[in-house]
Structure 1
Amino acid sequence: MIDRIVPDWPSPANVRAMFTTRNVGRVTTEKRAYTGLNLAVHVDDNPHVVQLNRNQLRQYLPDHPRWLTQVHGSRAIWVDSDSEALEGDAAMSRYPGVVCAVLVADCLPVLLCDMAGSVVGVAHAGWRGLAKGIIENTVQALREFSHSDQIIAWLGPAISSQHFEVGDEVRTTFTEYDCQAARAFFPGKEKGKWYADLFELARQRLSHAGVSQIYGGNLCTYSNPEKFYSYRRDGKTGRMAGLLWMTQFPDK
């Protein structure tokens, strides 16, 4: 059995979600940085072992995940066609059994669904993606096909503000968009450095997009090396996954 986190949020009965941790999975003895359930093929791990890990994960899902080529951008794409060329930073679906997925190791996975259970999506939201509008773009796209105006969100594990130090340019990028973003930054150890709160920045962007029901946002990847991979902590490391799907079409 793999270790996984099931979001605590009031999603419709036909919506399922999970977040994987690094626990269990195959062990690459020659590459200790990836020990556990690494699901990423782009981080120099043994491809065969990654595939074995993905096979383990598949046992908990209705279909294989629609893995994206993530670029820290703002593109949200529908993954229902199962194309081989899925480049973007948010995956969305309108059909049962389609597993939306993003890979993370400090960046914030934002899981989204409407209260009718008619659309689901998951966004990869690091600071670059947040600044470029990945959350707003995803919510807007979901609303175009939603049977309900009410979208809810769950914020998965990510690096917390105590460990995420950035420069002036990052803070300026957010505060120029919204002066209230200053609440998400705290003075760093040196002049021109700030600790950034990804969870707060995401909540602000969700609020701008009209999403008021926001859950999660209290698990730090950096401070728990036994459970989570963290790029900022380890540099060379694996990736975990935020996954979301519908089991059936919503009731009429």
Structure 2
Amino acid sequence: MTSTRAEWPVSDRVEAFTTQRHGIGHSLAPFDTFNLGLRSGDDAATVERNRADLVQRFALPSAPRWLRQVHGTRVAIEPDMEEPEADAALTRTPGTVLAILTADCMPVVFASRAGDELAAAHAGWRGLAAGVLEATLDAMRTPRDGIVAWLGPAAGPQSYEIGREVHDTFVAHDPAAESAFVSTREGHWRVDLYALARQRLAVAGVTDVHGGGFDTIADASYFSHRRDQTTGRMATIAWLR
């Protein structure tokens, strides 16, 4: 198995999946084997070879529109091949392939029920707190009640321990966020990124949310920066047929 496919009730025009670590690819340890991140420290030529294999192996309709991700909230509308600095992307054009790189951060894919609009966001804790999901929804033309979301593989609530900065940032924004944290020791909590995302999406008017339940830290099928420090990146890939 080389990918985790999105399971969500959307039009069959929508394709979305997250790559896994093994089963394809050429990267050597500690990036083994299907590393798709050029800025992870891996050999650039090897990553480009992996990216070429991604297009061929998964029969993508075009090369992915990669982003220069910075844990921000900018949304690239109809991104070109120039790798814009952004943490989300949106397309209404069939065949345009969106791509989000992660290794514990949460990839979120949005689609209209009709399958005529698609977006993908990179939501680590900083981006999630800053409002990247809300910014992505704001960029979409589809009314909120016509949007379906899928939460892809990310650090899970049983493994992801954080400090006071993360806890206080979310709780200051919305006291209800406290329910997503479980105290482990003084000044530390385990955090449920999926619960935080669902809360923020609900407030924004999107309640048809699927996915979650993954744990990239505990599951060696995925790259994990928290687990391994130096590692590769998965890609969450999405396009409209």
TM-score interval (norm. to shorter): over 0.9
Structure 1 stretch displaced more, 234-243 or 45-54: 45-54
Alignment of 1:151 with 2:147, yes or no, is: yes
Q: Is the Cα–Cα contact under 8 Å of residues 66 and 81 in structure 2 kept in the other structure?
A: no
Residue of structure 1 aligned with 2:167, choices 171, 177, 183: 171
Per-residue CA deviations over 1:186-227 (Å, capped at 9, x if unaligned) read 102x201111110101111111111111111011111111x1
Alignment of 1:47 with 2:80, yes or no, is: no
Q: Which residue number corresponds to residue 160 of structure 1?
A: 156
1:85/1:224 CA distance change after superposition, 3 Å: closer
Q: Which residue number corresponds to residue 230 of structure 1?
A: 224
Extract unaligned runs of 5+ from structure 2.
Answer: none
CA–CA distance in 2 between the matches of 1:53 and 1:194? 36
Aligned residue identity for 2:150: W
Residue of structure 1 aligned with 2:31, choices 28, 31, 34: 34
The alignment of Structure 1 onto Structure 2 pairs a total of residues equal to: 239
* SS state at 2:30 partner: helix
Q: Which residue number corresponds to residue 55 of structure 2?
A: 58
Alignment of 1:103 with 2:97, yes or no, is: no
Q: Is the Cα–Cα contact under 8 Å of residues 104 and 217 in structure 2 kept in the other structure?
A: yes
Structure 1 runs, 4 residues or longer, greater than 4 Å off? none
Q: Is the Cα–Cα contact under 8 Å of residues 145 and 206 in structure 2 kept in the other structure?
A: no
Q: CA deviation at 1:149?
A: 4.3
Extract unaligned runs of 5+ from structure 1.
Answer: 248-252
Q: Is the Cα–Cα contact under 8 Å of residues 20 and 241 in structure 1 kept in the other structure?
A: yes
Q: Which residue number corresponds to residue 185 of structure 1?
A: 181
Aligned residue identity for 2:215: C
* SS state at 1:176 partner: helix
Q: RMSD over aligned Cα, in angstroms?
A: 1.4
Give the TM-score normalised by the residue count of structure 1.
0.91
Aligned residue identity for 1:196: V
Q: Which residue number corresponds to residue 209 of structure 2?
A: 214
Q: Which residue number corresponds to residue 245 of structure 1?
A: 239
Q: Which residue number corresponds to residue 250 of structure 1?
A: none
Q: Is the Cα–Cα contact under 8 Å of residues 76 and 90 in structure 1 kept in the other structure?
A: yes
Aligned-pair identity (%): 43
Q: Is the Cα–Cα contact under 8 Å of residues 159 and 217 in structure 2 kept in the other structure?
A: yes
Aligned residue identity for 1:237: T
CA–CA distance in 2 between the matches of 1:115 and 1:27? 37
Q: Which residue number corresponds to residue 3 of structure 2?
A: 4
CA–CA distance in 1 between the matches of 2:2 and 2:88? 24
